[in-house]
Structure 1
């Protein structure tokens, strides 16, 4: 698996008189691991919506490996190689983990007829097995999706996206709603998945300990604009970021 190079150029999105993102220009190198942080309302999730085609930009362009994908529908963007975690409960709540993964693969390939006969086909079942092994979900293969714990549902969300072989994977607060131990198990699993697949991975996260532990590059949004970007150490020491978002606690931790 090779990650894709993602480039955002002048992305702007308004909702009536509200500017959600304003002239956001960012480049994500192929195979990189990046975090996007910022206070609530900074435009982080809106940015993901723009990248994945859930909403069109008011201005600006999105490029994947140099190809303009702005304005393509969501399915076309997924086929080009940009993945985002599904919401399990709204997709396959009565399917087992293995069946959910096979169904996602078949849907992605336009083979929905196989959902109603000879399901799952051998090739889709084999790929589902591979993804379960990679994500540590093999012991839960026969568990119905809606019966999974919150953390395992989140992991299945990620597995469903991985099953589509994305070049770029977007994760919106993958540890939300988890306790401390569960959060660290999840982030360790995500980091190992990135190391194994070397896809371009971009995640939104509010837990700064997690961000500073695993991200290669951190981008900070504020009021829909890019406030700063750099390595975790550079971000921790940036006076504008400290004042706007981090506070003194994380900055002091960075002093040797």
Structure 2
């Protein structure tokens, strides 16, 4: 399966404003990494560049050694980059099961049966597997618009997983949740990563979560890489403490 993601000198500017400044990072297959930094540091812009939502001003994105910079967004997904957003991007009137079936069929180019009452058995089986993995089986017939905030975010992750990505990008998976719900969500994310062995990269502002589950942490500031390393190394980095963490998270 692999899933090595490389960013080489990635830059994005909007007129005179540089949102991403010469970002060079490597993510090894099967690793769990966090990207942190102040608001406006360029974290979400970086995800936009990886997934093709925004065109790259300069630099390259490579997946398993093959360049994907500038490819159509659907082709980037087909190559193995999946993404779940801060705001759940769902089929509001579809049930959980039908949402997943629709995503699977669209991804496979089987649009003729997209709105069929009875999805093909293989699609049904795949949808059921993803629902079980994401803890959504008991909500299979619930319409997406009637799900709780946390379950909507789980469905958004499930939709990304249904496309069998090598690399999964999660933009603040715990945003808008209370403390207990945040930890339930991140435990679910961790179990998904363990089960699928994919390369998982997440943006998160809760440092307790970051330092508990991430294998490595990358810190952005003003669109550039300020630091990278293990959670312990990042917590001890004086520049990171001064720019972002504050004394309460330093070791």
TM-score bin, normalised by smaller chain: over 0.9
Structure-2 separation of matches of 1:90 and 1:64: 24
* C-alpha distance 40-87 of structure 1, shift in aligned 2 (>3 A): closer
Q: Is the 8 A contact 2:86 2:172 kept in 1?
A: no
| 1: CA distance, partners of 2:117 / 2:146 | 25
Partner of 2:98: 99
For residue 24 of structure 1, report the CA deviation from its aligned partner.
Answer: 0.2
Tell me: CA distance 1:229–1:88, structure 2 relative to 1, closer, same or farther (3 Å).
closer
Following superposition, the deviation at residue 87 of structure 1 comes to 7.9
- Displacement of 1:134: 0.7
Please state whether the residue corresponding to 1:182 is helix, strand or coil: helix
Change (3 A) 1:98 1:88: farther
Contact in 2 for aligned 1:145/1:153 (Cα 8 Å): yes
Is contact 2:102-2:115 (8 Å) kept?
no
Aligned to 2:206: 207
Match of 1:147 in 2: 146
- What residue ranges of structure 2 are gaps of 5+ in the alignment? none
Question: In structure 2, what is the Cα distance between the partners aligned to 1:89 and 1:203?
Answer: 15
Residue in structure 1 matched with residue 120 of structure 2 by the alignment: 121
Task: Name the counterpart of 2:184.
Answer: 185
In 2, distance between residues paired with 1:90 and 1:196?
Answer: 24
Equivalent position of 2:31 in the other structure: 32
> 1:234/1:36 Cα in 2 relative to 1: closer, same or farther (>3 Å)?
same
User: What is the TM-score normalised by the length of structure 1?
Assistant: 0.96
**What residue number does 1:65 align with?**
64
Distance 1:245 1:18 in 2: 21
Structure 1 residues 24, 86: closer, same or farther in 2, change over 3 A?
closer
TM-score between both structures, scaled by the size of structure 2: 0.97
1:106-156 CA-to-partner distances (Å, cap 9, x unmatched) read 011111111134542211111000000111100000101100000000000
Distance 2:88 2:225 in 1: 33
Say if 1:88 and 1:145, in contact at 8 Å, map to a contact too. no
| Structure 1 segments (4+ residues) deviating >2 Å | 86-91, 116-119
CA deviation map 1:173-231 (0-9, x unaligned): 00000000000000000000000111000000000000000000000000000000000
Structure 1 residue 91: Cα displacement: 3.9
Task: Give the corresponding residue for 1:47.
Answer: 46
* 2:192 alignment partner, SS class: helix
Corresponding residue SS for 2:119:
coil
